[in-house]
Amino acid sequence: ETGVTQTPRHLVMGMTNKKSLKCEQHLGHNAMYWYKQSAKKPLELMFVYSLEERVENNSVPSRFSPECPNSSHLFLHLHTLQPEDSALYLCASSQAPSGSTEETQYFGPGTRLLVL
Amino acid sequence: AQSVAQPEDQVNVAEGNPLTVKCTYSVSGNPYLFWYVQYPNRGLQFLLKYITGDNLVKGSYGFEAEFNKSQTSFHLKKPSALVSDSALYFCAVRDSGSWGKFQFGAGTQVVVTP
């Protein structure tokens, strides 16, 4: 799983804290994604960046703020979270279509977030 | 709209027996279908995909899946399960016209007993 790395692996934060999750991909991809994984629920696609521009925002609350400074790095800035935001946050990367018709996403190990 | 369903929360199978994990989907256009596996405290690992061509797709670790357009299904199969196959399996779909918008199922926990 060295292709996509995420830090930190575990995070505990209070509702008034501000923290950031980091994702880095070493696969030469140009698209990156944030997903939320909660127990017994399907993965929820949060944000998609292609060529460093946000192309998808699935009605995510503004307390989650993504940032993609370049094609290898993706951040998720967190502030004033709620306990129901506790989940596993997964980052993925793929090759955005440039003549291709499909892509496979490669995932990082995730950050386990607990909001108290 | 697109959706995917994994009707079984958990599948139990004895080691050496065949393993099947079910997945059905709904898309408005042509489906691109994927299977991923997740081991504890790990991210999702890609197993296989169907984009076009042969309906039977072979993937990693001896897994295969069959695309059935009439039944809108993409079931994952392995002829002989191993204890190490115990994990959480996810089916995913996206419409061919909706780049990047993957829809994942809720996952099926596979338990292989010795």
**pLDDT of amino acid B41:** 78
Q: For testing the chain A interface, which of B44, B48, B98 should be mutated: the one with the most A CBs within 10 Å?
A: B44
Q: Could B100 and A33 be called an inter-chain contact, meaning their C-beta atoms sit closer than 8 Å?
A: yes
Query: pLDDT of A60-90, one tens digit each?
Result: 999 999 999 998 999 999 999 999 999 999 9
pLDDT band with cut points at 50, 70 and 90 for residue A98: low
What does R_g of chain A's alpha carbons equal in angstroms? 14
Beta strands in B1-114 (DSSP E): 3-5, 10-14, 19-21, 24-26, 31-38, 44-50, 56-58, 64-68, 73-78, 87-95, 103-104, 108-113
SS3 label, residue B84? helix
**A105 interaction partners in chain B (CB closer than 8 Å):** 34, 44, 46, 102
**Residue whose tokens read 């299977």:** B35
User: Collapsing DSSP states into helix, strand and coil, what is residue B51?
Assistant: coil
Residue B38 CA to residue B44 CA, distance in Å, equals 5
- Average pLDDT for A8-17: 92
Find out whether A104 and A96 touch, Cβ atoms under 8 Å. Answer: no
Nearest-neighbour CA in chain B from A5: distance (Å):
10
Count other C-beta atoms under 10 Å from residue A88's C-beta: 18
Q: Across the interface, do A102 and B90 touch by the CB < 8 Å criterion?
A: no
pLDDT in tens, A45-68: 999 998 777 777 778 999 999 999
Answer whether B103 touches A (CB < 8 Å).
yes
Give yes or no for residue A102 having a pLDDT over 70.
Answer: no
User: From the candidates A104, A111, A112, A113, which should be mutated to test the interface with B, based on the most B CB atoms within 10 A?
Assistant: A104
